[in-house]
Amino acid sequence: GAVVSQHPSRVICKSGTSVKIECRSLDFQATTMFWYRQFPKQSLMLMATSNEGSKATYEQGVEKDKFLINHASLTLSTLTVTSAHPEDSSFYICSAQTSGGAVRGDTQYFGPGTRLTVL
Amino acid sequence: AQTVTQSQPEMSVQEAETVTLSCTYDTSESNYYLFWYKQPPSRQMILVIRQEAYKQQNATENRFSVNFQKAAKSFSLKISDSQLGDTAMYFCAFISTGGGADGLTFGKGTHLIIQP
């Protein structure tokens, strides 16, 4: 149980285009999903927290107009990188939390990640 | 804000040996959770073990156990009888239990290599 998928697993795009990444919880409902970014040989950095039916909360330094997050249902959150540039090239990982929020310290289940390369 | 520090960028041990990965953290919170995640070459994040700060008993999961020292803000991971499949990046992570849902704060990671 607790499987999270991401699509696509890998994407290459030209500078200036937009890319959408989907994150799905396959066998549970996720009230909260998180988006992380991981540069090569570095740790995961939280970008934003996404709650179903409400606006995402972005971490300091993350441009909300560049990284659009939509959490349309309890099983789907999307991250759209708008007008992508080479410096946006990275590994993007989503995670999903079942319920109760951090008050109960619910475990986050991670997707397999999406490697974005912007040429 | 909380910080998580992993002071060992890389460790290498022989198969079947026991290895301990260190993690310290800094927080003003009293209630929180700590995690160890494993990231193999596939880059899929896998939960290894979880510790609730209000519990004094150290968490264990088969060959994996932690030494949680709350006063010292230390949370080390011990892997017994290490196996080749344990080769991976290991990340220590923190999450507060207050203020609603929050993302994890990760340490920089330790690259563990198990030698045959």
pLDDT digits (tens, 9 = 90+) for A7-55: 999 999 999 999 999 999 998 888 889 999 999 889 999 999 988 888 8
Report yes or no: A97 and A105 within 8 Å, Cβ to Cβ: no
User: B104 and A44 in contact by Cβ < 8 A?
Assistant: yes
For range B72-101, the mean pLDDT? 90
User: B45 and A97 in contact by Cβ < 8 A?
Assistant: no
Sign for the pseudo-dihedral over CA of A83, A88, A94, A99: negative
What pLDDT is recorded for position A101?
45
Instruction: Tell me the two tokens of residue A5.
Output: 């998928």
Chain B: nearest CA to A3, how far in angstroms?
Answer: 11
User: B95 and A105 in contact by Cβ < 8 A?
Assistant: yes
* CA gap B115, B82 in Å, rounded: 9
What pLDDT is recorded for position B1?
77
User: B43 and A112 in contact by Cβ < 8 A?
Assistant: yes
Chain A: nearest CA to B72, how far in angstroms?
Answer: 21
pLDDT (tens digit per residue) in A85-111: 999 999 999 999 876 544 345 678 899
